[in-house]
Each structure stands twice: as C-alpha cells, then as structure tokens.
Amino acid sequence: MEDDKIEKIKEGFWPKVKKVAGKVPFLPDAIALYYAMLDPDTPLKAKLTIAGALAYFLTPFDAIPDILFGAGYIDDAGVVAAVLTAASIYVKDEHKKKAKDFLNSGQIEIKETPDK
C-alpha cells in the first residue's frame, strides 16, 4: 500500500514539474522533498509524509484550484513548506543540491510568468 502511493508520486512528479517550472517559487523545495522520499535512508513514516505533500502538489483538485492564476499554488506552497519543516532532518544537503542541479541542467524549459 505504501509503495503504491510512492509509485504514483514517481509517475506524476516530473510531468508536473515541467508544467509548473518558472511558475512556482517553491519548486526547488518540492524537488528536494522528492529526492528525500526516494532516499533509502529516509524512514518510511517520513517518506509517506513527504508523499502526501507531493500528492497534494500533483493533484489539481485541492483547496485552491491550480488553474487560478497567481493564487492557485498558495495552498500547495503551504503544504510543501509545512512538510519541509517537519521532515527537514531527512532533507539533506545532497537532496537540495540535486534539486538545484536539476533545475540548472536545462532538462526542463522554464516558462516565464507574464509581467503584470
């Protein structure tokens, strides 16, 4: 059951990252959490907590719908920030570096948000 939840996150995570790149400032934190979830040294309880936050980030049906420009990711940011704080002991510098390296690698096209 727990493995199924993590597998679903793994399937949907990178497409969502590519979709929101450049639109959400907490993306490096979400990616670092993803790498912490995959780390074999992270305890199962922490992995499941992280998976829950990432599942919330992945689903378009949440407290504030993601389609609302400008406000749609506020609740997602709060969930990611809360879990990042709660699981900070398991989010290692190597996870943060992997996230930063991925974002700087050019593997995704960063779409700039339009100026208002």
Encoded tokens for 59 = 């689903």
Residues 44, 2 contacting (CB under 8 angstroms): yes
Q: What is the value of pTM for the model shown?
A: 0.82
For the segment 90-95, the average pLDDT, to the nearest whole number, is: 97
Encoded tokens for 91 = 């989010």
Task: With cut-offs at 50, 70 and 90, classify the pLDDT of residue 29.
Answer: very high
Domain ranges, ordered by start, for the chain: 2-104
* Chain Cα centroid distance, residue 35: 9
